[in-house]
């Protein structure tokens, strides 16, 4: 379970670094771009993915990979905005609750039979999401709707769609390492095009911040893969522990370190999120 804990810790560190970026004068857009330099390089060196499967991949697979290459940096920017405006607690919970989207797609679009615990988990998850983004009386003080609840919902929808697309890629038989290599390479191009279009000046500080962000991002993936390899007969345990760990650690980081304030309904949403993830994992 050490790998699960490290994976969850690295996932929360990504949100923490995004939270600290503006305070340290780091341009988030540039940092996200350099993040893909790190993840691409580490994928090549550590995972050593084969290139032959990419050469043999069909047009439909490349369309899906291209969609992922476009979505990853875009949703990463949404996560950064959510962390800034809504906080780490809400953002990490929304990211982890995004697992509802591929599940609901499987039930409604692909005819996968749903068990009672899974349906209950989905219902609790949707209630949790609504409670987590609830603003109550503070809504009037919010400059725009997106700053209050729009960004966490964008994170929820974006990561859910990414999960669906990765499942489509996996269904083609393309090895995960090869898929990650292609997606990170495409995401790198998109991520660098955005600050270039904005004509922002590239600096060493932004590059170093982005490389650190990428190292944490890749470590999250690597430790999660190691956890599944160490516990091949308990995928539900790994899945649940990872998601629950991120929600709990994110809550601790947001409340204890950054003094984020949660109302009673928000706190209830956090508890519902934990219950929903547990039900979905063992349902």
Q: How confident is the model over 11-20, as pLDDT tens digits?
A: 999 999 999 9
Stretch 69-81: mean pLDDT:
96
Q: Do 156 and 91 contact (CB within 8 A), yes or no? A: no
Q: Which residues of 139-176 are buried (b: 16+ CB within 10 A; e: fewer)?
A: eeeeeeebbbbbbbbbbbebbbbbbbbbebbeeeebbe
Is the model's pLDDT at 186 over the cut of 60?
yes
Identify the top-confidence range among 66-70, 115-119, 123-127, 257-261.
Answer: 66-70
pLDDT of amino acid 110 = 67
Q: Which residue has the tokens 């039979």?
A: 113
pLDDT of amino acid 283 = 65
pLDDT of amino acid 136 = 63
Structural element, H or E, at residue 16: helix 2-21
Stretch 149-178: mean pLDDT:
92
Phi-psi category of residue 202: left, alpha or beta, with phi > 0 → left and psi -120 to 50 → alpha: beta
* Distance of alpha carbon 132 from alpha carbon 135, whole angstroms: 9
More confident residue, 27 or 140: 27
Tokens of 277: 């993830």
Q: Do 26 and 203 contact (CB within 8 A), yes or no? A: no
pLDDT of amino acid 140 = 44
Nearest to 174 by CA among 261, 45, 50: 50
Identify the top-confidence range among 31-35, 225-229, 240-244.
Answer: 31-35
Q: In sequence order, what E strands does 183-233 have?
A: none
Proportion of the chain above pLDDT 70, given as a percent: 94
**Cα 282 vs. chain centroid, distance in angstroms?**
21
Q: Predicted confidence band at 215 (pLDDT cuts at 50, 70, 90)?
A: very high
* Distance of alpha carbon 220 from alpha carbon 204, whole angstroms: 24
Phi-psi category of residue 173: left, alpha or beta, with phi > 0 → left and psi -120 to 50 → alpha: left
Stretch 69-96: mean pLDDT:
94
Is the model's pLDDT at 141 over the cut of 90?
no
For the chain, give the mean pLDDT.
89
Q: Do 253 and 99 contact (CB within 8 A), yes or no? A: no
Phi-psi category of residue 259: left, alpha or beta, with phi > 0 → left and psi -120 to 50 → alpha: left
Structural element, H or E, at residue 258: none
pTM, full prediction: 0.91
* Distance of alpha carbon 180 from alpha carbon 158, whole angstroms: 17
For residue range 49-66, what is the model confidence (pLDDT) as tens digits?
999 999 999 999 999 999
For residue range 84-122, what is the model confidence (pLDDT) as tens digits?
988 999 999 999 999 888 888 887 776 778 788 888 888
| Extents of the domains making up the chain | 2-282
Q: Which residues of 87-96 are buried (b: 16+ CB within 10 A; e: fewer)?
A: bbbbbbbbbb
Q: How many helices (H) and strands (E) does the chain have?
A: 13, 0
More confident residue, 231 or 9: 9
Is the model's pLDDT at 180 over the cut of 50?
yes
Q: Predicted confidence band at 143 (pLDDT cuts at 50, 70, 90)?
A: very low
Is the model's pLDDT at 145 over the cut of 70?
no
SS3 helix, strand, coil % of the chain, rounded to 5?
80, 0, 20
Q: Do 132 and 270 contact (CB within 8 A), yes or no? A: yes
Q: How far is CA 125 from CA 94, 118, 265, in A?
A: 10, 10, 14
pLDDT of amino acid 137 = 52
Stretch 272-276: mean pLDDT:
91
Is the model's pLDDT at 142 over the cut of 50?
no
């Amino acid at each position: 379970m050490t790998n699960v804990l490290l994976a969850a810790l690295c996932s929360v560190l990504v949100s923490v670094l995004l939270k600290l970026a503006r305070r340290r004068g780091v341009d988030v857009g540039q940092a996200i771009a350099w993040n893909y330099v790190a993840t691409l390089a580490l994928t090549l060196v550590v995972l050593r993915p084969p290139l032959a499967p990419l050469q043999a991949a069909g047009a439909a697979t490349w369309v899906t990979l291209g969609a992922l290459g476009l979505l990853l940096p875009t949703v990463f920017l949404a996560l950064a905005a959510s962390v800034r405006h809504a906080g780490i607690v809400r953002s990490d919970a929304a990211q982890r609750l995004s697992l509802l989207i591929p599940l609901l797609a499987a039930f409604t679009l692909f005819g996968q039979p749903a068990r009672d615990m899974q349906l209950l988990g989905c219902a609790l998850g949707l209630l949790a999401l609504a409670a987590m983004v609830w603003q109550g009386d503070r809504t009037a003080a919010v400059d725009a709707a997106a700053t209050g609840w729009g960004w966490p919902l964008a994170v929820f929808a974006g990561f859910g769609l990414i999960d669906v697309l990765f499942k489509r890629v996996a269904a083609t038989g393309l090895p995960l390492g090869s898929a990650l290599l292609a997606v990170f390479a495409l995401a790198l191009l998109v991520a660098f095009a955005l600050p270039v279009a904005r004509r922002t000046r590239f600096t060493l500080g932004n590059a170093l911040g982005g490389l650190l962000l990428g190292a944490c991002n890749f470590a999250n993936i690597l430790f999660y893969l190691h956890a599944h390899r160490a516990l091949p007969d308990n995928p539900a345990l790994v899945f649940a522990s990872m998601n629950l760990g991120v929600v709990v650690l994110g809550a601790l980081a947001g409340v204890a370190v950054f003094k984020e304030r949660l109302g009673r309904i928000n706190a209830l949403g956090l508890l519902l999120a934990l219950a929903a993830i547990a039900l979905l994992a063992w349902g």
